[in-house]
Amino acid sequence: MFVLRIKILIGFVRFAILLLYYKKSPIRGIIDKDIDRWISELHVSMFHKRTSQLVYLLWFHPQFRNLFYFRCRNIPNTFRRVCHKDPSLHLAEDDNDIAGGGIYFEHAFSTIIAAKSIGENCMVRQLTTFGVKSGNRHSEKPVIGNNVDFGANVTCIGDIRIGNNAIIAAGSVVVKDVPDNAIVAGNPAKVIKYRSDVCPESNP
């Protein structure tokens, strides 16, 4: 515990430039939602100040760095060298809108994210791909709602919409729209049931 606190203090110096970009970011509120989600998922309770939480995540969680740099795209590469990204997680920077805060990557190695838009509080796991069906259909990307939970090894491609509160089971290949509150599985993915714990009155 003591050693960790010392590292965080060192981190304030090490990441000083990154913290400055964070404080001046026009989308700081969205970054704060990311920080809150990650701190909650990781069950980190010893840091209460937002800047201390950010230093902790930058130091110990490379995939959070990818998200942070995606949010703060104006940070020069020179300053990013102090805190390298995770090369196994790719967030496309062209036509990729993760406007919703609170997205969380759980062990998201070998994961590619290229969506038209992603809502708030989504969970993405390893071996997952969001993208296009072919290179000549670059604009046809998924639109993902709020609170969507993706299992491992999920593929979502094409001009589709995944509704709010949906659960996409591990190994699913999603090529058609998914309704709100649906649980889908399979290749191609199909609705297997609807969630009873979230807005059941909106289920078909």
Segment 48-102, tens digit of pLDDT: 999 999 999 999 999 999 999 999 999 999 999 999 999 999 999 887 889 889 9
pLDDT in tens, 159-169: 999 999 999 99
Long-range contacts of 177-185 (CB under 8 A, 24+ apart): 179/204, 180/145
| Per-residue pLDDT band at 204 (split at 50, 70, 90) | very low
pLDDT at 135: 77
Which are the contacts of 202, defined by CB distance < 8 A and separation ≥ 6?
180, 181
Q: How confident is the model over 122-148, as a mean pLDDT?
A: 92
From the CB of residue 157, how many other CB atoms can be counted at a distance below 10 Å?
Answer: 19
Give this prediction's pTM.
0.92
Of 170, 171, 110, 167, nearest in space to 144 by CA: 167
* Class of residue 116 by CB neighbours under 10 A (exposed 0-12, middle 13-18, buried 19+): middle
What residue has token string 């046809």? 140
Q: What angle do CA 85, 143, 129 make, to 5 degrees?
A: 45
Residue count of the chain, please give it: 204
